[in-house]
């Protein structure tokens, strides 16, 4: 997977989106999204711009950055768009659930 394809895949997963959802929201063909993410083709011009708009990422940062996720401070504690509680809170919730 090329750097841009990997960055798009990572950003999409962090947003909790499927390839189908990204394709529908960006008005880009699903097969095009799949080819970009699988390094079968390069994203170009308008297609890349549409994808970046949906993923709410800066096109220039996507093209130039080596550490895209860390530099843009994308919250890696998001799962399907929901923020995870702290480990302690999750532990207490599990413990309370077990007691009940």
- Measured CA to CA, the distance from residue 23 to residue 30 in angstroms comes to 5
**pLDDT band for position 41 (cuts 50, 70, 90):** confident
How far are the Cα atoms of 33, 50, 71, 76, 91 from residue 79, in angstroms, in the given order? 21, 23, 19, 8, 17
pLDDT at 92: 87
34 pLDDT more than 90: yes
Q: Please give the Cα distance from 47 to 59 (Å, whole number).
A: 11
Give DSSP secondary structure letters for 71-83.
Answer: HTT--TTEETTEE
pLDDT of the residue at 44: 80
Q: What is the pLDDT of residues 67-100, one digit of tens each?
A: 444 444 455 555 555 666 777 887 888 888 889 8
pLDDT of residue 42: 82
Task: Write down the pTM of the prediction.
Answer: 0.60
């Amino acid at each position: 997977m090329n750097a841009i394809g990997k960055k798009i895949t990572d950003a999409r997963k962090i947003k909790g989106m499927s390839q189908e959802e990204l394709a529908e929201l960006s008005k880009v063909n699903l097969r095009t999204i799949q080819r970009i993410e699988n390094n079968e083709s390069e994203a170009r011009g308008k297609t890349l711009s549409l994808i970046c708009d949906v993923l709410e990422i800066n096109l220039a940062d996507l093209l130039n950055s080596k550490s895209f996720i860390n530099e843009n401070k994308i919250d890696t504690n998001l799962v399907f768009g929901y923020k995870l509680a702290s480990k302690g809170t999750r532990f207490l919730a599990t413990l309370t659930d077990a007691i009940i």
